[in-house]
Chains A and B, each alone.
Chain A
Amino acid sequence: MEPPTLEAARRRLRRRRIASIVVLVAMDLTIIALVRLSHRGTHIAESVLFPGVGLIENHPWLAVGFVLAMLTATVLWLAWGADWLLGAIWLASLLTTIALAPAGHGGGGALRGSHEFPLVVAATAVITWLRSLAGRLPGVRRLRTACRRRQVARGTHAVGVVDTCRAASIAALATSAGAEVDVPAHRAALAEPRIRQRARRVGALARWRFTGDPLRADQAAVRTALASWGEPESGMDDEASRRVAGVVASDPGWVRPLDAALAAAAARARGASTAAFERLLVERWALRRSHRPAWWYEPLGFAAGAAPPWEHAAMTAVCRANGWIGDEDWPHLRRAVLGAAARHDGDAHDERLVAAGRVWLRHVDDDEVARIVARRSAPTDPIALALTQWAAALTDGPPPTGLDRVGTIATGRRTPSSGEEPRR
């Protein structure tokens, strides 16, 4: 039986999905009608399909401006959840096209436009893929990691707000498992003005929250870290109970796996319900083709992408430690962990992957990986360090709390009960 708030959230999500489909169908019909009615309609239809395209013939610079604005808005949407910006630019381009589009010459533009949009999507995908490919190239990767090494050596390496908070949340888990962590450093990091500054910036841009507490909604990483280190949870549990994911969003609209797992772990430690999150793990964030999704888009309720190996490993390590999943991820992670342990190029993601592997090794019996991972020295990345400290505490301390539960979790596999021998 689901909690009433979760049931209500799921109903809302269903309604939003239906509304989205209705809007899409209406848009399609409108485009068809516009094309058939007039030449100006063709231009409008082009701008409906992709903002600014309908202006290319007569106002090329304006068209380029809309395209650039759209790309920027897309980046801001993906990074901070500023979804209204996309809609605003779309609407502005539509109105501009209605006002400026010429009244008549040859047709066929909508057909062209309808081909252009998939092309733009494809081009975006290709650019993203090329960027990720370039990031993996030996030279680029070496340059990037060498730069990071130099910064770490000089003490000038700046860790982002989200990663600082994630590290603090994991360190809190480590502390509760008995590890000795640098408590003053974590508290000091969370007290830095930039933590709230980012939340305020994101809230203002994405949701027009110019006043009040910037942490009153979303901001899973920051709020989880603060709550884990003794700050009041400031309505996080209440907000989470109204979300289908069962956790607050990382940034408006977006739920990212590690933030979600840490938020759920912290909620569990507070005694709050994690049923919705566990259900999300089974239904939407399940392991498929060796991956877990990279994100959950809250407004429309879909998960997609493939989480980077380190985030997959760290997120599932948290889930496994809490008993929300079984060992099914480990066979897919172990080779990545081994590879990361073998590489010595100072890459922060490798350090995190190895550290997450250490947590996993607390729960699975894999001597080969344990031997290899044990050869890696202490990491410099704060998330990796916190994971390592947590893993060490799990090794030395009592079994993690999740292991005292018996249940059918995720794939239906059974986790050991408190009366059973832990695997390691």
Chain B
Amino acid sequence: MSTDAAAPEVHADDAEVRPLLLPEHPARFGPISRRLLLRLVGALLVIEAVGVALVALADGHAARAAGLSLMFPGGGFLYDACPVLFLATLALSVVALVLWWGASAHLAIPVVWVLGVVGAALLADGPRLWVDHGTQWTWAIPVVVVLVVAAAAIAVWRVERRYRAKRALIPELNAYLRTAELPAPVATHRQPDAMDAELLRWCLDFANQPDDGLDGLDWGEQFHGGTQVRYQLNSLAWSMSLFAANNVPNAQGQIERALRAVVGKHTDLRVWRYWRTLNLVGNFDPNPDPIVRDNIMFSAFLADVLNSYEAATGSTAFDEPGSLTFVWKDGRTFAYDHHSIVAAVRHNFEASRLGFFPCEPGWSFTVCNTMGAQALRGHDTAHGTNEWDAVRDRWVRTLDEEYATPDGSYAHIRSNHVGLSWDTGEVPGGHYFANGTHRFADILPDHARRARALDLRGAGPKMAALATMVDADGLLPLDLPAEPERNHARTSTLLPWNKVIGGARLAGEAALTEAAIRTSAVRCATGKRWPERPLDVGGAALGSHMLLRWSQPLDLAALNIRGHVPPVGPVVTDAPWDEVLFLSARSDDGHALRLIVQPRDDGETVPLRLSLGALLPGGDYVLRSGAGEWTAHADGEGTATVEATVTGRTELVLERQVG
């Protein structure tokens, strides 16, 4: 391994600057959330007041039943001596709650509530199942009142208990943050191994299938279930960008072509057609355009993918107007490019009252809005714009005031309509210290350092203990049990290894990181190739694994900060890209070009005709491998061609012959 001089500056800062401290007296809710919650509480109080008035003042069973159902969904059915309908209303309320979150069906709960009111009123003097016609259970009135009070009390108590518990941690956490030492990040270049070759082969095979092919990905529902094709494509594109930037900066013909194909697959209707349903149900808007409104989980992620692609390859293919055209199934087209997608993200940020804008209509997630911020930041790097600066202050205010909790973690989700936040079950506890693929490192370095320190408070000692277990062969003798994937459709043995690798990298444990990567390849290899997977893992986690493998020395945040930097030293401008895998092509010293290549098909010997550029004009060069030497003479423009042969994995060095 070699230490990389181009290690990202954000990493260099980590060890020197103290992490941000937590506020001593945090508010329970931010100003906008408080206003939204007060509006919700006000509306509920009005409903309760009407309900109480109907029960207490109105004459007649129907009014009383309706009033009780207003006070508590389906409460009137209990008064009507229809307990089954009461339970059915409660069950429907739970379904409506799930639909509210899962499909942005904002009217689901009000509809169930109103149905309960109308039904109870209609049944007030009607037939009964097990009791006499027109029976009323007057004891239901105090029961409903108790239910209302209990529900309100439980909600307040849960919020308050959690707030107080977190607030109590502040002194201890600040004390820790004042003294916490952030380890230096793992910033060495990994030599690609056999599993890297298999993973690269998989990526290339995936990308080189027909443009409308998505074979190799997991399929399932596209809303929340962890089988979303969009995220699988995102993670593939990010990991391939990292491979391009870290492993083959001096020979990008192969990976750039594949990356372009993967980015293009984002326009496939199957990737984004879920949005029309969500937009229709949640916004009452039939427009299927996946970029223009909300849907930050698609627009911002895609913009971030474009940033990574441009930063890794320098290509401006997706800056061209209409280069990303989405076609709806009736033939309507929505033409976008890198700039217009970023412009839409910024517009949505500016138009949002909360400051964060929704993924699914009405629900704004911290992780997705962090991706949105990254998208603006990366575009600024690539194109010299100031999109991120324009929204930064308001964005940070939203993060710190509306989403932050006293212990430094952030709520995963908040409703744009009613200000509520809850644990959706998608992340442990519904909170995290940092998220997004860059964990704030590029957009808010201070926040990133604090989040890293807080994460390390728990993970650091565990990783240090694991590091002592690395054996003499550089492996980690651990048997980690398979874990269920997020889609719950399968379990994967690679998932726990991803956690170890991620934790080790966070803790700066270079040896542990490498050992975990190597051991995971041994334990989880399947021996299969595309469209099967070479590792025992689902589609989304395969992308995460490649991200972890190929994040050295540059990770995605560092790439977003750095932007595109042309490679130093000789470059390969053309090669038999379809016959040979380019695993490494780097010139660390700016003079010698070191290549690691292997034939695409096993056991073959293939001719390797390299077109070279950025050579010293008129210079004599020699390409050496263990099997022989080949010479080349650079012309006046610094280009040359050299022909070699490759059998199996081959390391080659191109150097200028002196004297």
Interface centre among B268, B322, B330 (most CB of A within 10 A): B330
Let me know if A338 and B331 touch, CB within 8 A: yes
* Nearest-Cβ distance from residue A219 to partner chain B, whole angstroms: 35
Q: Which residues of A contact B636 (CB under 8 A)?
A: none
Q: Does A342 lie at the interface of the complex (its beta carbon under 8 Å from any beta carbon of B)?
A: yes
Let me know if A344 and B322 touch, CB within 8 A: no
The residue from A339, A343, A368 contacting B325, defined by CB atoms under 8 A apart: A368
Q: Which residues of B contact A154 (CB under 8 A)?
A: none
Q: Which of B84-92, B110-118, B206-214, B488-496 contacts A (4 or more CB under 8 A)?
A: B206-214
Q: Does A131 lie at the interface of the complex (its beta carbon under 8 Å from any beta carbon of B)?
A: no
* Nearest-Cβ distance from residue A395 to partner chain B, whole angstroms: 17
Q: Which residues of A contact B327 (CB under 8 A)?
A: 338-339, 341-342, 372
* Nearest-Cβ distance from residue B605 to partner chain A, whole angstroms: 32
* Nearest-Cβ distance from residue A202 to partner chain B, whole angstroms: 36
Q: Is the interface of A mostly helix, strand, loop or mixed?
A: helix
| Nearest neighbor of A343 in chain B, beta-carbon distance | B329
Let me know if B269 and A344 touch, CB within 8 A: yes
The residue from B264, B270, B332 contacting A344, defined by CB atoms under 8 A apart: B270
Interface centre among A338, A341, A374 (most CB of B within 10 A): A338
Let me know if B330 and A335 touch, CB within 8 A: yes
Let me know if A377 and B325 touch, CB within 8 A: no
* Nearest-Cβ distance from residue B519 to partner chain A, whole angstroms: 39
Q: Does B29 lie at the interface of the complex (its beta carbon under 8 Å from any beta carbon of A)?
A: no
* Nearest-Cβ distance from residue B652 to partner chain A, whole angstroms: 36
Complex CA–CA separation, A225 to B329 (angstroms): 33
* Nearest-Cβ distance from residue A378 to partner chain B, whole angstroms: 7
* Nearest-Cβ distance from residue B322 to partner chain A, whole angstroms: 7
Complex CA–CA separation, A341 to B332 (angstroms): 11
Let me know if B269 and A342 touch, CB within 8 A: yes
Q: Does B138 lie at the interface of the complex (its beta carbon under 8 Å from any beta carbon of A)?
A: no
| A341-384 at interface with B (beta carbon < 8 Å) | 341-344, 368, 371-372, 374-378
Interface size bracket, A side: 10 to 19
Let me know if B212 and A368 touch, CB within 8 A: no
Complex CA–CA separation, A340 to B264 (angstroms): 18
Let me know if B331 and A342 touch, CB within 8 A: yes
Let me know if A378 and B329 touch, CB within 8 A: no
Q: Does B335 lie at the interface of the complex (its beta carbon under 8 Å from any beta carbon of A)?
A: yes
Q: Does A337 lie at the interface of the complex (its beta carbon under 8 Å from any beta carbon of B)?
A: yes
Tally A-B pairs: CB < 8 A.
50
Complex CA–CA separation, A165 to B329 (angstroms): 30
Given contacts A344-B268, A344-B269, A375-B212, contact A368 B322 (CB under 8 A): yes
Complex CA–CA separation, A375 to B328 (angstroms): 15
Q: Does A292 lie at the interface of the complex (its beta carbon under 8 Å from any beta carbon of B)?
A: no
Q: Does B315 lie at the interface of the complex (its beta carbon under 8 Å from any beta carbon of A)?
A: no
Q: Does B333 lie at the interface of the complex (its beta carbon under 8 Å from any beta carbon of A)?
A: yes
| Nearest neighbor of B265 in chain A, beta-carbon distance | A375
| Nearest neighbor of B330 in chain A, beta-carbon distance | A339
1/0 per residue, CB under 8 A from B, across A322-348: the answer is 000000000000111111111110000
| B327-344 at interface with A (beta carbon < 8 Å) | 327-333, 335
| Nearest neighbor of A335 in chain B, beta-carbon distance | B331
| Nearest neighbor of B269 in chain A, beta-carbon distance | A342
Given contacts A374-B211, A377-B210, A377-B211, contact A342 B264 (CB under 8 A): no
Complex CA–CA separation, A342 to B212 (angstroms): 9
The residue from A334, A371, A375 contacting B331, defined by CB atoms under 8 A apart: A334
| Nearest neighbor of A350 in chain B, beta-carbon distance | B329
Complex CA–CA separation, A337 to B327 (angstroms): 11
Let me know if A368 and B210 touch, CB within 8 A: no
Q: Which residues of B contact A368 (CB under 8 A)?
A: 322, 325, 333, 335
Interface centre among A337, A342, A378 (most CB of B within 10 A): A342
How many of chain B's residues have a CB under 8 angstroms from any CB in A?
A: 18
Complex CA–CA separation, A7 to B321 (angstroms): 55
Given contacts A335-B330, A339-B327, A342-B329, contact A375 B270 (CB under 8 A): no
Given contacts A371-B325, A375-B264, contact A337 B210 (CB under 8 A): no
Let me know if A339 and B211 touch, CB within 8 A: no
The residue from A334, A340, A378 contacting B210, defined by CB atoms under 8 A apart: A378
| Nearest neighbor of B332 in chain A, beta-carbon distance | A335
Interface centre among B270, B327, B328, B332 (most CB of A within 10 A): B327
Complex CA–CA separation, A338 to B269 (angstroms): 11
Complex CA–CA separation, A344 to B219 (angstroms): 14
| Nearest neighbor of B273 in chain A, beta-carbon distance | A342
Q: Which residues of B contact A376 (CB under 8 A)?
A: 211-212
Complex CA–CA separation, A340 to B328 (angstroms): 9
* Nearest-Cβ distance from residue B291 to partner chain A, whole angstroms: 16
Q: Which residues of B contact A375 (CB under 8 A)?
A: 211-212, 264, 268
| A164-206 at interface with B (beta carbon < 8 Å) | none
| Nearest neighbor of B326 in chain A, beta-carbon distance | A342
Complex CA–CA separation, A306 to B264 (angstroms): 35
| Nearest neighbor of B210 in chain A, beta-carbon distance | A377
Given contacts A368-B325, A371-B325, A375-B264, contact A344 B212 (CB under 8 A): yes
Interface centre among B213, B269, B322 (most CB of A within 10 A): B269
Let me know if A339 and B329 touch, CB within 8 A: yes
Q: Which residues of B contact A342 (CB under 8 A)?
A: 269, 327-329, 331
Q: Which residues of B contact A340 (CB under 8 A)?
A: 331
| B357-395 at interface with A (beta carbon < 8 Å) | none
| Nearest neighbor of A375 in chain B, beta-carbon distance | B211
Q: Which residues of A contact B211 (CB under 8 A)?
A: 374-377
1/0 per residue, CB under 8 A from A, across B301-340: the answer is 0000000000000000000001001011111110100000
Q: Which residues of A contact B325 (CB under 8 A)?
A: 368, 371-372
Q: Which residues of B contact A339 (CB under 8 A)?
A: 327-332
| Nearest neighbor of B327 in chain A, beta-carbon distance | A342
Complex CA–CA separation, A52 to B210 (angstroms): 58
* Nearest-Cβ distance from residue B290 to partner chain A, whole angstroms: 12
Let me know if B333 and A343 touch, CB within 8 A: no
* Nearest-Cβ distance from residue A372 to partner chain B, whole angstroms: 6
Complex CA–CA separation, A337 to B328 (angstroms): 11
Let me know if A377 and B213 touch, CB within 8 A: yes
| B176-216 at interface with A (beta carbon < 8 Å) | 210-213
Q: Which residues of A contact B332 (CB under 8 A)?
A: 335, 338-339
Complex CA–CA separation, A340 to B213 (angstroms): 16
Q: Which residues of B contact A335 (CB under 8 A)?
A: 330-332
Interface centre among A335, A341, A375, A377 (most CB of B within 10 A): A375
Let me know if A377 and B212 touch, CB within 8 A: yes
| Nearest neighbor of A337 in chain B, beta-carbon distance | B331
| Nearest neighbor of A376 in chain B, beta-carbon distance | B212
Q: Which residues of B contact A378 (CB under 8 A)?
A: 210
Q: Which residues of A contact B335 (CB under 8 A)?
A: 368
Complex CA–CA separation, A338 to B213 (angstroms): 17
1/0 per residue, CB under 8 A from A, across B67-96: the answer is 000000000000000000000000000000
| Nearest neighbor of A341 in chain B, beta-carbon distance | B327
* Nearest-Cβ distance from residue A319 to partner chain B, whole angstroms: 22
Complex CA–CA separation, A378 to B210 (angstroms): 9
Chain A residues engaging chain B, CB cutoff 8 angstroms: 334-344, 368, 371-372, 374-378
The 10 closest A-B pairs by CB, nearest first: A335-B331, A377-B210, A339-B331, A342-B327, A338-B331, A375-B211, A342-B269, A343-B329, A339-B330, A338-B327
Given contacts A335-B331, A336-B331, A344-B268, 15 further A-B contacts (CB under 8 A): A337-B331, A339-B331, A340-B331, A343-B269, A344-B269, A344-B270, A368-B325, A371-B322, A371-B325, A372-B325, A375-B212, A375-B264, A375-B268, A376-B211, A376-B212
Interface CB pairs A-B, < 8 A, 12: A334-B331, A335-B332, A339-B331, A342-B329, A342-B331, A344-B270, A368-B335, A372-B333, A374-B211, A376-B212, A377-B211, A378-B210
